[in-house]
Structure 1
Amino acid sequence: MAEGRFVAYYRVSTARQGRSGLGLEAQQAAVRGHLNGGTWSLVAEVIEVESGKRADRPKLAEALRLCRLHRATLMIAKLDRLARNVAFVSALMEAGVDFVAVDFPQANRLTVHILAAVAEHEAKAISDRTKAALAAAKARGVKLGGDRGHMPTIAPRGYAASLAVRQGKAADRAANLLPVIAEIRSAGATSLQAVADALNARGIPTARGGVWGPTQIRRIEAQT
């Protein structure tokens, strides 16, 4: 049974994660299941919409700050929610905050360092193999980078592909934000402006790095 104070940290980055069971709702359910019973208090729940490869996660920094402020333990649903590089894990260790991973409660600082080192090695190996394959293809005479000799013919295809990519990114972004917006709605925000203010207060930027307004919220919710 859980004992003490906790700050839950959730990270979501792609719609694929939601479909595979690593989305926000699944993480929240895992944390609540772990906290079922015992004497505990959930001080805060912090949501990060970010890439796992980046180390500068402002919401994680906020979660660590809250842990230090309340002398709480950082709780995550999945161990890979923390990081995938050794440097970031080292910085986390230096923060002086205890943590618990619901899917690996026996994990300690040593095991996290080892797992992060393995993940970093695997990522580098994949990158090296990709570069080697491209170099080998180029050596065989394969032209890389597309056909630049028929631009009038292939340009429309490029525009269509670019549009599809942008639309895909927008859909992924909406899939990440909708659970957050639903949480804000359930907390009592009824107007578009109230939802926008809540997102701005949480430090979640728009796709272009700006602040939220009613129009953006309407567009996101229209994708449900």
Structure 2
Amino acid sequence: MAQGKFVAYYRVSTARQGQSGLGLEAQQEAVRTHLNGGSWQLVAEVVEVESGKRNDRPKLAEALRLCRMHGATLIIAKLDRLARNVAFISNLMESSVEFTAADFPQANRLTVHILAAVAEHEAQMISARTKAALAAAKARGRKLGGDRGNFLNVRDRGNAASVAVRGGKADRRAADLAPVMRELQAGGASLRQVAAKLNVRGIPTARGGAWSAVQVKRVLERVT
């Protein structure tokens, strides 16, 4: 049975389908049937109306933002409709958002990685060809080898990269939350009241706890 929070993402191919609901109602029914039973909350439903020639997915970006903000799982009706879509796969893999499909409940972000197997295989083939070329060069007497005396610099670059990744995630989450916070402030809410309203809406902090005025202030300062 389904547990936790979900954001549903539906895709229809043309504006006409979007207006008529053709295909959309079937996707909605599939999601609701999958979520039937258990303890779950459907936070939002996002509909993408697109043509086959479009590569941008603004509504997908919105759905992923909502997932990050609420700590929710992205759910779609049919995996086969999106599994072959390069834009969907790349956006999902970069989003750090958990994922499930109503027609394939076992699918998740790990499944999406499998969909990139062809590209990974090609990279491995390139690596194998490179190693073979280096081996051939060594056999011809060419001196090979890297700079093994530069360990400290390499280590420092790795630490800096790790800090940058963590900072990037914090920046992205702050960018997701800031519009909601500013909207509440525009309505006259203080920092403490903004924190209370976020808690009422079920939007968790980065560590999954409750909001305080200080945390709201830090998020707003981060995006300023």
TM-score (norm 1): 0.47
Compare CA radii of gyration and give the structure with the larger one: 2
Structure number with the bigger relative contact order (C-alpha 8 A, sep ≥ 6) is 1
